Amino acid sequence: ASDPDAGDAGRVSYTMAPLMNSRSSDYFRIHPDTGLISTTQILDREHMDLHYFRVTATDHGSSRLSGTTMVAITIADRNDHSPIFEQTEYRETIRENVEEGYPILQLRATDLDSPSNANIRYRFVGDTAAMARAAFEIDPRSGLITTRGAVDRENNEHYTLQVEASDQGKEPGPRSATVKVFITVLDENDNVPQFSEKRYVVAVKEDVRPHTEILRVSATDRDKDSNAAVHYNIISGNSRGQFSIDSVTGEIHVVAPLDFESEREYTLRVRAQDNGRPPLSNNTGIVSVQVTDVNDNPPIFVSTPFQASVLESAPIGSSILHIQAIDTDSSDNARLEYRLTGTGSDTPFIINSATGWVTVSSILDRESVEHYFFGVEARDYGMPPLSATASVTITVHINITDANTHRPVFQSAHYSISVNEDRPPGSTVVVISATDDDVGENARITYFLEDNIPQFRIDAGTGAITLQAELDYEDQMTYTLAITAKDNGIPQKADTTYVEVNVNDVNDNAPQFVSPRYQGTVTEDAPPFTSVLQISATDRDAHANGRVQYTFQNGEDGDGDFTIEPTSGIVRTVRRLDRESVPFYELTAYAVDRGVPPQRTPVHIQVTVLDVNDNAPVFPADDFEVLVKENSAVGSVVAQITATDP
């Protein structure tokens, strides 16, 4: 300040008093002679950034005169504070397979400096930065962490991210802080159990004891906890209940006796299903159980006792009787050899050990011996061998008329035919015939079935085999008929042939669902193609007739909101759902086989849409006008405001 007076009247002294905040005087002082304002301690802008003073200049005249002015001191910021996160660490969980851009966590850091030194930017840093950027993004301005793409728990369940917040300060330079973010990926049931083998093959002896373990199947699921807990069941190939499977361990046991002669191989289809919601299953487990033969069947003679007549003029080497036995085992267990028992050196007959034909071995003389009695044994080559015996009677006749020297002979030793299972009873399946080179009664042939098989009969005179009952491929696929042709000569001669009837499958069974009705739930914020539930059906037919596919038809897919995988039967959403628009769906799916023509079976599916808090409350009006009397008591109700939330 200046004073034009001279002497003491022009000498000026200065004083300063704080305005607004008395604490300002703690930080500044003024020199009384020079008027220089200086600090008295270190300043902190974040504590007080603005100081106001009234400065008074007073002269030293006899009548002191003074003048005042206002001084405002603004503290310029210095970047002396680092950003501070709201938490010392962050922990968050997310479901795997959430969509790209899914918000996970909002980070916030604050900086006490001025805006120019508190312009915070966020980024991933540290050794895990590359891994973090591969799976997540962080908004550099807001600090919002989102997914970059699909997150798969099976690849990485736990992420440890290091996030840096930098304030972009200029003077003396930027400052930063870091925080760790721990993200745990929660399991979704998105993996189907996988069998350890494409096909399991096991050989089992037919005399295996019931409840013996023969094989263990194993399937693993890459999911976690209940989503990875696998249980097993046999879904086809076990119509007779020969086998059982432990639903937890996958152990397959024989529970009923096996018989190589009835069924030589079983093909079981095993389902491995997890405990997820909805569960996922794998129906591709194939187990081939190959039954191996045990010598458990002795030979059985076709007809006993054996009787024959022979003319005394029959030359040596003449065939007079065919001894036949069958053994239902296989290989050496069914290969037979024959021998005569109870014979002596004077017995004029021998038997071919391989074919069973009895032939004349020396000259016959009816006057010496008219009747011969001896036995025959059929023995197999099994270990140990099994055998059967029968009696043989041969009568020698005088040659008065034509001798029955020829036996009937079938055109083939084995016939193989195919018949559709829907062939009506009474229809002719095949006509077989045999010829006999004799004449008269010696050449008249009669046909008959050796075993009583209810489905078939044979015409004794023509050899026509007809159906007597309906066939069912699913119950029995093949029949073996033993047909014998006998002539009417003395002695009677015969031949046997075998007819193998193969039953062809016809698409006569519609698919059958495992459950008569299916129910499922899904949240309305579930991303498209979320699995809701799985349906399953089986078809007792074979090959294409038994292969099942799944479909929606006639718009019964919830107006296109759902789709179904044709092979697995998994029902998925097509788009995001809205519970407020449609709270539940009634769908109809079909299991369709691939027969010609195909058969289909419908099943009803109810899907309930679970609510998510995705709607804000709504007032019925944007503003309300309320009239209140001026003398209303305190606490009086003046209006009731309501809002609705769909």
Over the chain (646 residues), the average pLDDT of each successive run of 10 is 86 93 91 92 85 92 90 85 92 91 94 84 92 93 92 91 91 90 93 95 94 96 93 93 94 94 92 92 94 88 84 88 88 91 90 93 86 90 82 57 77 90 92 87 90 92 94 90 91 91 91 94 92 93 90 86 92 92 94 92 95 80 84 85 80
- Spell out a b/e string for 345-375, using b for 16 or more CB atoms within 10 Å of the CB, else e: eeebbbbeeeebbbbbeeebebeeeeebebe
Please give the sequence-ordered ranges of beta strands (E in DSSP) within 99-193, or none if there are none: 103-106, 109-110, 121-125, 136-138, 144-147, 158-166, 176-186
Q: Return the SS3 of 584.
A: strand
DSSP 211: T
- The answer to whether the beta carbons of residues 464 and 458 sit under 8 Å apart is yes
User: What is the predicted pLDDT for the residue at 392?
Assistant: 65
Helix residue ranges, H only, 237-324:
none
The number of helix segments (H) and strand segments (E) in the chain equals 1, 50
CA 642, CA 646: separation in Å to the nearest integer? 13
User: What is the predicted pLDDT for the residue at 394?
Assistant: 61
Architecture in CATH for domain 84-186: Sandwich (2.60)
Give me the sheet containing 548-552, strands edge to edge.
Answer: 517-523, 600-610, 584-593, 548-552
State the amino acid at position 150 in one-letter form. Answer: A
Asked whether this chain's domains 409-504 and 512-610 adopt the same fold, the reply is yes
CB neighbour list of residue 355: distance below 8 Å, 6 or more residues apart: 322, 338
- The answer to whether the beta carbons of residues 45 and 51 sit under 8 Å apart is no
Architecture in CATH for domain 194-292: Sandwich (2.60)
Q: Return the SS3 of 351.
A: strand
State the amino acid at position 212 in one-letter form. Answer: T
Separation in Å, CA 535 to CA 34, 273, 541, 578: 96, 12, 19, 24
The yes or no reply on domain 409-504 and CATH 2.60.40.60 is yes
Tokens 């996958």 found at: 250
Tokens 């503003």 found at: 623
User: What is the predicted pLDDT for the residue at 632?
Assistant: 84
Which numeric CATH code is attached to 300-397? 2.60.40.60
Domain boundaries, the chain: 7-74, 84-186, 194-292, 300-397, 409-504, 512-610
Q: Domain 7-74 class?
A: mainly beta
CA angle 491, 495, 497 (to 5 degrees): 165
DSSP 644: B
CB neighbour list of residue 246: distance below 8 Å, 6 or more residues apart: 232, 252, 253
Residue 175 token pair: 């400052």
For residues 550, 555, 558, 564, the Cα torsion angle rounded to the nearest 10 degrees is 20
CA 184, CA 158: separation in Å to the nearest integer? 5
User: What is the predicted pLDDT for the residue at 399?
Assistant: 44
Q: Is 177 exposed, middle or buried (0-12, 13-18, 19+ CB in 10 A)?
A: middle
User: What is the predicted pLDDT for the residue at 397?
Assistant: 52
User: What is the predicted pLDDT for the residue at 43?
Assistant: 85
State the amino acid at position 104 in one-letter form. Answer: I
CB neighbour list of residue 188: distance below 8 Å, 6 or more residues apart: 95, 96, 97, 153, 223, 227
CATH topology classification for 512-610: Immunoglobulin-like (2.60.40)
User: What is the predicted pLDDT for the residue at 618?
Assistant: 83
Q: Please choose, from the candidates 134, 122, 139, 131, the residue with its C-alpha nearest in 3D space to the C-alpha of residue 161.
A: 131
